[in-house]
Amino acid sequence: MAAGDELKLIGTWASPFVARPRIAFNLKGIQYEFLQEEFGKKSDLLLKSNPVQKKIPVLIHGGKPVCESLIIVEYIDQIWSSSGPSILPTDPYDRAVARFWAAYVDDKLPLQIRPFIREADEAAKAQAIEQIVAALQHLEEAFEKCSKGKSFFAGDSIGFVDIALGSLIGWLRAVEVLAGVKLFDEERIPGLAKWAERFCSSDAALGIMPETAELVEFSKALRDASRAAAPPSN
């Protein structure tokens, strides 16, 4: 390993945030050890490595922890800058734009997926769908501008925004099944719909993106666990 000895990633298979550094490692062609957390538990290594947030993913490189998914992706891009394609643009303005849209993804989408994973009423789910549709429309416009007619937000290869949004495709498709709606509508967002297919079939994403059916079943398990943990109603 060119840039260090120990390289471990703490996470779970179903987390879109954990998928981000895994995709980045695939892009760079870097081998690492994937340490999967047991569902519903936090390992001693996780608590030691991220004592403030106690969340995954955590990258351990040479004994030093790096936390937060997009920060880890930037770290991977910088440490292994000579391996594989650049994930962040080299131009300062383009890099700022990429960071803006990646932050937009995290601000608008994960919170709206949550009502379909946890217990929520139909009104909350309907509002979440409206928010997702609106966000994807903005991202369709961003894709048109950023891609400049090429395959990905970053152009010819997968980049920072592609990883940020692409990691959520599996859960967005699970929401489609759970809510009975079409989010990646080819008539409404044709560019993004085709981009999603390209992203999921790319070498970087293969073997990492969970199947939709697996996530649907996992969401049911999460809801069952939430019900079991809830205090009894009077």
- Model confidence over 131-174: pLDDT tens digits? 999 999 999 999 999 999 999 999 999 999 999 999 999 999 99
**Predicted TM-score (pTM) of this structure:** 0.94
Q: Both 50 and 17 in a single domain?
A: yes
Q: Classify 110 as helix, strand or coil.
A: helix
pLDDT computed for residue 224 by the predictor: 81
Q: Both 24 and 103 in a single domain?
A: no
Q: Both 134 and 174 in a single domain?
A: yes
- Model confidence over 61-101: pLDDT tens digits? 999 999 999 999 999 999 999 999 999 999 999 999 999 99
In this structure, the strands spanning 33-36 and 7-11 are parallel
What are the structure tokens assigned to 145, written together?
């501008």
pLDDT computed for residue 230 by the predictor: 61
Tell the residue number behind the tokens 């009894």, with chain if given: 232
Residue 5 scores a pLDDT above 80:
no
Which structural domain range is residue 71 located in? 7-80
CATH for 27: 3.40.30.10
